[in-house]
Structure 1
Amino acid sequence: MAQTNQPDIFDIAVVGGGPSGRIAALTLAQAGFSCALFAPPSAKPDGRTTALWQQSIDLLRDIGIWAEIEATAAPLKKMRMIDGTGRLLRAPEVTFDSSELGMEEFGFNILNSNLNAVLEIFCDKQENLTIVGESVEAACFDGSCARLTTRDGQSVSARLAVAADGRNSFLRETAGIDVKRWSYPQVAVVLNLEHRLPHQHVSTEFHTATGPFTLVPLPGRQSALVCVETEDGAAKLLAMKQEQLERELERRSHSIVGAFKLASKPQSFPLSGMNAKTLTGERLALIGETAHVFPPIGAQGLNLSLRDILDLRDILLSARVRQADPGSTAVLSAYEAKRRGDIKTRTNAVDLLNRSLLTSFLPVQAARSTGLYLAGKFGPLRRLLMHEGMTPGSSFRPGRPAGRPPVNS
């Protein structure tokens, strides 16, 4: 235990030391709840990056960590989509510009390692938050509390457990919550690149027959790459020597930012998805990849997870005003109802976009091409898509400064 003055029973115990778990713990502790965080040391460094939209950045600003991250993040001002499928029906190039929404940028792209390092420091310093540096090995949920125990016998009781322990969650399995899993015939090759020409803060996504090939800006003349390939195609890329791989990736990018040089070791991840069939159990709420898993398409993963945290915080604060038990059935039902629609909408949208690239069925290709054509030609539709991509279901006020939430009227 990192802190010794712990209560007999916490308001909330968060399980999971990744970004979702640490941000949830900071958010809820700063909201005045007594919290415990189970966060074992990471097994290996994370060389990937994450694009965060403004609503997510607002949350990081609220919990006081954004100022420590911004200097190492790259603003994303434009998003360009290019049809590189080579098929008969191809969509026109479309560029989404944040200035159309009166914003300086859509968001920022950050290195996961930088985010994780800052979160670890802030969690260690946070009052009202006890850190347990071990994994949960046993869990019991009953009418009064959740009891969580580590391998070395440390035990914590809490009125509510928040599971952020990943797609293979121990807490979710212990609570008997079923999941729906699916896979795609694709593998994402992920790495960071240095390049000769400036990216001008433009994220470029080539739609190819095997999936997206996406370059997302990093500070300086660097970009993060997600290249979605077949299993055989990914294996061929990973088997290439460095110079050969650099030339091949430059060819696929049509040299839009010049010659490439690898800035990180390539990693690969089979594409799959998962949704928990319910987001709650007895004394338990699921957030992040414990509740939903997406392919790395459209930068939805962590942004959706942070919306889980925002909604959970708001529901728990409302319950506290009513002096309601934070782990009660009524409170958890409110969380389930609040999150289900957003998760379902995002799941269907990402799945549809990915499968539309894989199909050779001409009507689907035509529908996709028509949709992008209309987005490029009609400003109101384009702005609606931009807004909904970042902050689904919320109203937008033109001219709102970037990074500031709308003023409630």
Structure 2
Amino acid sequence: MSHADPDIAVIGAGAAGLAAALCLAREGFHTLLIGDPAIAAPGRTVALFGGSVAFLQALGVWEAVSARAAPMDAMRIIDDTGSLFAPPPLTFRCAELGLDSFGCNIPNDDLVGVLAAQARQTPGLELAPETVAEASFSPAGPQLVLASGRALRPRLAIGADGGRSLVRARAGVGVRTWDYPQAALTGVFSHTQPHRNTSTEFHTRHGPFTLVPLPGKRSSLVWVTEPGKARRLAGRAPEALALEVEQQARSMLGAMRVTGPCGVIPMRGLTAERFAGHGMALVGEAAHMFPPIGAQGLNLGLRDVAALRDALIAARDRGARCDDADALAAYDRGRRLDVTTRTRAIDALNRSLLTRLPGVDFLRGAGMLALGHIRPLRRLAMREGLAPLLGLPAMMQADGASRPR
């Protein structure tokens, strides 16, 4: 591979960065991916909805991903807040939308491994498994210096380097951040009863307790609770922790056993003030961070990538370069509505669980009852939860996008 300046440099080799590099290299842009494939926190899995599945199909990696993933056919919500207005359990089924599945759940490291393997054999994609030492952005374009000393002047630099993004900082992009009085315990558990491809979410006074199916009789856990309790749970002996998880899950999946390392994630959020400009674009957690509620994080990050691809292809079709200001402005505008909508929805849901105000409990319970009994509203909520109603980027609209069997 030539060491000439690339058209596009992607900084960050997590799932979003790998996806961006693969996507743009396949479109004919000389692309450089900077970074080592990122390892997630222990016990992290990612739930991918239909549009993300279609995107992975278009990248040619879906067969390898699906072999390591479990489909999600139903999503069950159980109010465990003790509220006087607690509604009965609510179950959303993929068949209600005419789908074979809502999507799939896969360990994050497995997904990163599949994408990294594809990156190593993709023409037009150069790999630089190192870090960026210096970066600057101006109207003249980005300038990068790698840890090896190699200097670069790509036309476009894509920041996929996470919540502490160097690209975002060097580009002078401010952020809005917020914290919650919570932390999330994550891990993978086996159980004696089948999950039947159903994700179950208990709403508690300290946050959601969610079990998401994995292949076989295994599920991934995201238990949002008080930070001190999350740390105490993570420090318990595996047998004691498994028993606590089993009891919190009301033994719905039978006896449970810890099958891997557990981790604790602080609950916080972040949104960049802008997502692009001056030869720079942000994707994934460099642009927005969510608490692990509602499975929105990586699905939004992949929509960032697919939307940026659409903007760059449109610029090329009209004879413009990949750093075209109008294309980057269009990307910024288009992603802001989707991200803002998801941010507010997740924030409202989480904060509604933390309050004990009767009025909030009543409104939450009434909303759940309405979803349980008004079919058009249920279908609208399911569709909006899976993808924005205003449409998906082109690569997420492939035939069979929501049929990931």
Regarding TM over 0.5, the answer is yes
Question: In 2, distance between residues paired with 1:404 and 1:224?
Answer: 22
Q: Spell out, residue by residue over 1:5-26, the C-alpha distance to the aligned partner (whole angstroms, 9 max, x if none).
A: 24x3322111001000000000
The residue that corresponds to 1:26 in the other structure is 22
Deviation of 1:217 after TM superposition, in Å, equals: 0.1
Question: In 1, distance between residues paired with 2:92 and 2:320?
Answer: 44
Identity of aligned residues (%): 42
Question: Does 2:243 align with 1:247?
Answer: yes
SS at match of 2:7: strand
Q: Spell out, residue by residue over 1:201-250, the C-alpha distance to the aligned partner (whole angstroms, 9 max, x if none).
A: 00000000100000000000000000011012213312322211111110
The residue that corresponds to 1:235 in the other structure is 231
Which of 256, 264, 267 is the matching residue for 1:268? 264
The residue that corresponds to 1:346 in the other structure is 342
**Residues 131 and 189 of structure 1: CA distance in aligned 2, closer, same or farther (over 3 Å):** same
Q: Does the Cα contact within 8 Å between 1:82 and 1:206 map onto a contact in 2?
A: yes
Deviation of 1:394 after TM superposition, in Å, equals: 4.2
Q: Does the Cα contact within 8 Å between 2:76 and 2:91 map onto a contact in 1?
A: yes
Deviation of 1:47 after TM superposition, in Å, equals: 3.5
Question: Does 2:372 align with 1:376?
Answer: yes
Q: Does the Cα contact within 8 Å between 1:69 and 1:115 map onto a contact in 2?
A: yes
The residue that corresponds to 2:119 in the other structure is 123
The residue that corresponds to 2:306 in the other structure is 310
Q: Does the Cα contact within 8 Å between 1:103 and 1:401 map onto a contact in 2?
A: no
Letter paired with 2:365: S
Question: In 2, distance between residues paired with 1:203 and 1:226?
Answer: 11
Deviation of 1:402 after TM superposition, in Å, equals: 4.4
Q: Aligned ranges for residues 163-182 of structure 1 at < 5 Å?
A: 163-182=159-178
Question: In 2, distance between residues paired with 1:320 and 1:402?
Answer: 28
Question: Does 2:194 align with 1:194?
Answer: no
Q: Does the Cα contact within 8 Å between 2:71 and 2:197 map onto a contact in 1?
A: yes
Q: Does the Cα contact within 8 Å between 2:35 and 2:131 map onto a contact in 1?
A: yes
Deviation of 1:157 after TM superposition, in Å, equals: 1.8
The residue that corresponds to 1:141 in the other structure is 137
**Residues 58 and 158 of structure 1: CA distance in aligned 2, closer, same or farther (over 3 Å):** same
**Residues 45 and 353 of structure 1: CA distance in aligned 2, closer, same or farther (over 3 Å):** closer
Q: Does the Cα contact within 8 Å between 1:46 and 1:113 map onto a contact in 2?
A: no
Taking only aligned residues, the RMSD between alpha carbons, in angstroms, comes to 1.7
SS at match of 2:155: strand
Question: In 2, distance between residues paired with 1:277 and 1:177?
Answer: 6
Deviation of 1:311 after TM superposition, in Å, equals: 0.7
Letter paired with 2:116: E
The residue that corresponds to 1:282 in the other structure is 278
Deviation of 1:401 after TM superposition, in Å, equals: 7.0
The residue that corresponds to 1:59 in the other structure is 55
Q: Does the Cα contact within 8 Å between 2:102 and 2:402 map onto a contact in 1?
A: no
Which of 89, 105, 110 is the matching residue for 2:101? 105
The residue that corresponds to 1:403 in the other structure is 401
**Residues 185 and 133 of structure 1: CA distance in aligned 2, closer, same or farther (over 3 Å):** same
**Residues 303 and 71 of structure 1: CA distance in aligned 2, closer, same or farther (over 3 Å):** same
Deviation of 1:70 after TM superposition, in Å, equals: 0.6
Letter paired with 2:197: H
The residue that corresponds to 2:395 in the other structure is none
Q: Does the Cα contact within 8 Å between 2:38 and 2:112 map onto a contact in 1?
A: no
Tell me how many residue pairs correspond in the alignment: 398
Deviation of 1:145 after TM superposition, in Å, equals: 2.9
Question: In 1, distance between residues paired with 2:186 and 2:300?
Answer: 21
Q: Does the Cα contact within 8 Å between 2:14 and 2:39 map onto a contact in 1?
A: no
The residue that corresponds to 1:38 in the other structure is 34
**Residues 351 and 12 of structure 1: CA distance in aligned 2, closer, same or farther (over 3 Å):** same
Deviation of 1:156 after TM superposition, in Å, equals: 2.2
Structure 2: 5+ residue stretches without partners? 393-397
